[in-house]
Structure 1
Amino acid sequence: MAAVRSPMVADVGARIRSLRTAKGLTQAQLAEPNYTKAYISMLESGRTRASMKALEHIAATLGVKPADLLGGQAAPAAPQYALVEARRLMEQGRGPDAIVVLEQLEDGLTPRDQLVRLRYLGGAYNMAGQPKQAFPVVERAQRMADLLGDDEEKVRVKSVLAACYMRTYAYEDSVRLNREVVQACDEGVVNDPGFHFRRLVDLALGLSNLRQPKQALAVYERAMEISAQFEDRAYLASMYQGIAKTYHDTGDVEAAINYNQKSLQLFEELGLLDQVACALDSAAGLYVEYGNITRARETLARAARLAEEAKRDGTLASIKASQAEVLAKNDPDAAMEEAQNALKFARKVDQVDAQVRMLVLIGEIRMKTNGAAARRSFQEARQLAEER
């Protein structure tokens, strides 16, 4: 019998075996359809090191995350585990940190793990608000998936491309690709309930952005049915946030507030400060719709404190924009100064969404006294949005 390669490899194998037996699965069932019973046996006995692809497959079948297979221990000096660390950082919303890990990881990877690295790197760039850097990386991943003939990876890479389109406001392209991804999941090309769930949420969000709320809510219902099969509270919270936005678009502010509160509660329980700040930002807009300006201001003040604590300048720029928009409801003159300050900050941190919003608000305020200046502001907002 081959010797165990390292204590860490043996520990990962033992954890796979423990999770498999707790789930009531045989080695053959865990292996299907991509691997063999013999391969799972070698993993569990520590006689071989799992590839990143294998870790993703095993984690999906067991209903856990790849990082859970490591048991929270420090990753060993192996490129596959660096990939797991990068994925963990991305699950925490730490795209820039994941980029650092992935860019340093060039050597020691098999072709298939190199493909996973490219997929993660494209997703990390997009998460960090750098879709222009993400697109060429995703294109490389697509070519590599084609060369390897890996149908599952083709689907996973396509989902990253859809996310990049979403980030650049190409909602129709994003929806088209996510429909193809969801169909592939329905057909069993990717057997990963967590991935299936997340892509349904992405599809629903895209439909909502295209002002198709009925279709979006129907897709969210499918996502909720699948969510019972695994534990991903962070993405569940994101789904509730998306549902809140969809109900808001339909004019059902009460339902929107209800789902926003569900989202906020989960994010708070998970200690995700940036997401809590974002949820509070959204909640403030709903309170404005409900006519409660005072509560909206209080909510935004709390959101700003959390964004500063989390050191998320992009989120803070959005909150500052919201504060200016709320102030404009009652005091346009004071709102002008607030909007100009928010625009300055958004430019400093390169938050395009907030810049567009403030240019539009400044144009609306100026329209009463200086139509020419207002039109220039609107034109700049339009040009900025198109460039984005």
Structure 2
Amino acid sequence: MAKRDDPETIGRRVQRLRREQGLTQKQLAEPAYTPAYVSTLEAGRVRPSDAALRHLAERLGVAYEELATGRPAHLATDLRLRLTEAQRTLATGETGRAAELYGELLAEAEQLDLADIRADALLGLGECALETGELESGRRYFEQSEQALADAPLPARVPALRGRAVAHYLTGELRYAVYLFESTLDELNRSGLHDPDALLLLYAGVIGPYMDMGAHARAAQAAEFALALAPQAGDPALVARMHRSVARTLLAEGRIAEADASLAKAAELYRHLQLRTELANCHWMRGYVCAQNGELERAEQELRSALDMLTAKRAALYTRQVAVELADVLHRRGKSGQAADLLRDVLGDLSSERGAMHAAAAHRLLGIIAEDARDTEAAEEHYVRALSLLERAGAAGDLADLCRLLGDLLRRTGRVEAALDVYRTGLGHRTAPGTTTLGPAPAQPPL
């Protein structure tokens, strides 16, 4: 809700509108108020109540919002209509254009002091930054969106919280990302704020960090929760377009409240459409589980499904994450050449600041492929690079596994003392996933 103007400004506006309508102070005041009250109000010596402003707005033939803020009532709705256009643009993969639209909306919302639209524009800019891998910028946008919604209920803040957690995750700050996800889930579930859309965002988002920390049981449970919460809305893009068309018609007829309701439905559907990225993680999780169970053909199918969903949305960092898992399955199915090509593509788009965990996983797997080809020099180089990336991210379980691989290679090539040092490093990182690296599992939702 936009902030009301000061009493003097409102008073001058009431006086101007009254004179334009040809009304006396007595005619404007009756039957609820006195001419003296209107005179005092027009002089700016009293702060009118909401009830008084609504009465005066009705008598003057204008909307309450226009009388209180000086802005036409349809202005905020026009901006919300443009907001759904930006959401549609992002959901269909045109990230650069979406960022332009969100930037324009942010500037106007700040100029007009419209906090809710400002928060949504910042959220959109954060999502655009995640898509393009500008993680630090994305985190700042999400933080600003949270701050703009500081007084709103927790479910309204969840998209920004989730975005911030994902930004931390993709920069390799796994434990902090999990903390943000789990503490928010706990607050929602334990306080009875069982908002399905908020829960879906959080459960889908936490799968990646869980997997990278080795908390596979929690990842599997989160994936099943997310899939159970996923909306069954047919083609959300079509339904959203319908709601936007309806909103335009209602707006043209001056039916602003109904137009707002249609736009709210459209915005929610576009948010669901963006969840293709999150739900792709559920297919990735299933593929991982199948791979662990030796069901390699089904694992490849699930991972290719996830990769197709992500590629269609141009979600670069998430696509690389799934590509590494698919490369592992391809290697285990005897398609090592395909796997190595896929991994080299992944490394071309990643760095220590941008997708460190996925870069480490790619180097680890390339090391294994090189070892199988008896190229121990290349294998050692890949393992050392992976080790450096994992140490920065603090991924204890993966570090222990990598130390074992590197230690075994060093031992086989006759460097026993160096191998012992690496093994000792690995023992220092051993941990039981889900115990020392993570606290108690978050409360469960009432599905």
Report if aligned partners of 2:367, 2:382 keep a CA contact under 8 Å in 1.
yes
Distance 1:325 1:263, change over 3 A: same
Cα drift, residue 106 of structure 1: 6.8
Summarize the alignment of residues 211-250 of structure 1 with structure 2, pairs less than 5 Å apart: 231=273, 232-250=275-293
Give aligned pairs, total.
304
Partner amino acid, structure 1, of 2:139? I
Instruction: State whether structure 2 residue 340 is matched by structure 1 residue 297.
Output: yes
Looking at both structures, which has the greater relative contact order when contacts are Cα pairs under 8 Å and sequence separation is at least 6?
Answer: 2
Distance 1:282 1:143, change over 3 A: closer
Counterpart of 1:279 in structure 2 is 322
Summarize the alignment of residues 99-110 of structure 1 with structure 2, pairs less than 5 Å apart: 99-104=139-144, 109=149
Deviations 1:172-193 (A, max 9, x none): 556677878888x6xxxxxx72
Summarize the alignment of residues 113-152 of structure 1 with structure 2, pairs less than 5 Å apart: 113=153, 116-117=156-157, 120-121=160-161, 124-125=164-165, 127-129=167-169, 130-134=173-177, 150-152=193-195
Cα drift, residue 273 of structure 1: 2.2
Cα drift, residue 286 of structure 1: 1.8
Summarize the alignment of residues 301-320 of structure 1 with structure 2, pairs less than 5 Å apart: 301-307=344-350, 311-320=354-363
SS in 1 for 2:372: coil
SS in 2 for 1:99: helix
The structure 2 residue matched to 1:333, chosen from 353, 361, 376, is 376
Counterpart of 2:20 in structure 1 is none
Deviations 1:213-260 (A, max 9, x none): xxxxxxxxxxxxxx9xx6443234333322322322232222222332
* Rg larger in structure: 2
Counterpart of 2:105 in structure 1 is 74
Distance 1:8 1:169, change over 3 A: farther
Cα drift, residue 167 of structure 1: 5.7
Instruction: State whether structure 2 residue 77 is matched by structure 1 residue 10.
Output: yes
Cα drift, residue 307 of structure 1: 2.8
Q: Which moved more, 1:325-334 or 1:235-244?
A: 235-244
Deviations 1:252-300 (A, max 9, x none): 2222223322332332222222233223322221221122222222222
Summarize the alignment of residues 336-347 of structure 1 with structure 2, pairs less than 5 Å apart: 336-343=379-386, 345-346=388-389
Cα drift, residue 355 of structure 1: 4.0
Q: Which moved more, 1:351-360 or 1:249-258?
A: 351-360
Partner amino acid, structure 1, of 2:165? Y
Distance 1:83 1:367, change over 3 A: farther
Summarize the alignment of residues 46-61 of structure 1 with structure 2, pairs less than 5 Å apart: none
For residues 85 and 336 of structure 1, what CA distance do their matches in structure 2 show? Answer: 46
Distance 1:310 1:279, change over 3 A: farther
For residues 248 and 312 of structure 1, what CA distance do their matches in structure 2 show? Answer: 23
Partner amino acid, structure 2, of 1:264? L
Cα drift, residue 313 of structure 1: 3.9
For residues 240 and 145 of structure 1, what CA distance do their matches in structure 2 show? Answer: 25
Counterpart of 2:422 in structure 1 is 377
For residues 411 and 315 of structure 2, what CA distance do their matches in structure 1 show? Answer: 40
The structure 2 residue matched to 1:364, chosen from 383, 397, 408, is 408
Gaps of 5+ in 2: 1-62, 234-268, 438-447
Distance 1:297 1:314, change over 3 A: same
SS in 2 for 1:271: coil
Report if aligned partners of 2:79, 2:105 keep a CA contact under 8 Å in 1.
no
Partner amino acid, structure 2, of 1:84? D
Distance 1:10 1:138, change over 3 A: same
Counterpart of 1:262 in structure 2 is 305
Report the TM-score, using the length of structure 1 for normalisation. Answer: 0.58
Cα drift, residue 136 of structure 1: 6.4
Report if aligned partners of 2:139, 2:163 keep a CA contact under 8 Å in 1.
no
For residues 299 and 182 of structure 2, what CA distance do their matches in structure 1 show? Answer: 37
Partner amino acid, structure 2, of 1:377? V
Partner amino acid, structure 2, of 1:128? H
Report if aligned partners of 2:206, 2:219 keep a CA contact under 8 Å in 1.
yes
Distance 1:180 1:315, change over 3 A: closer
Partner amino acid, structure 2, of 1:121? L
Distance 1:85 1:371, change over 3 A: farther
Deviations 1:126-172 (A, max 9, x none): 55233444566568757976998644399839849965666644455
Distance 1:3 1:137, change over 3 A: same
For residues 85 and 194 of structure 1, what CA distance do their matches in structure 2 show? Answer: 27
Q: Which moved more, 1:324-333 or 1:140-149?
A: 140-149
Deviations 1:99-144 (A, max 9, x none): 2124345755453346744773366235523344456656875797
Partner amino acid, structure 2, of 1:378? Y
Partner amino acid, structure 1, of 2:291? H
Cα drift, residue 330 of structure 1: 1.8
Report if aligned partners of 2:390, 2:399 keep a CA contact under 8 Å in 1.
yes
Summarize the alignment of residues 167-246 of structure 1 with structure 2, pairs less than 5 Å apart: 168-172=213-217, 193=231, 231=273, 232-246=275-289
Gaps of 5+ in 1: 20-58, 186-191, 196-226
Distance 1:96 1:273, change over 3 A: same
Q: Which moved more, 1:103-112 or 1:292-301?
A: 103-112
Partner amino acid, structure 1, of 2:141? V
Aligned-residue Cα RMSD (Å) equals: 4.8
Cα drift, residue 362 of structure 1: 0.5
Distance 1:342 1:247, change over 3 A: same
Distance 1:329 1:106, change over 3 A: closer
Report if aligned partners of 2:404, 2:423 keep a CA contact under 8 Å in 1.
yes
Counterpart of 1:44 in structure 2 is none
Report if aligned partners of 1:324, 1:342 keep a CA contact under 8 Å in 2.
no
For residues 139 and 256 of structure 1, what CA distance do their matches in structure 2 show? Answer: 28
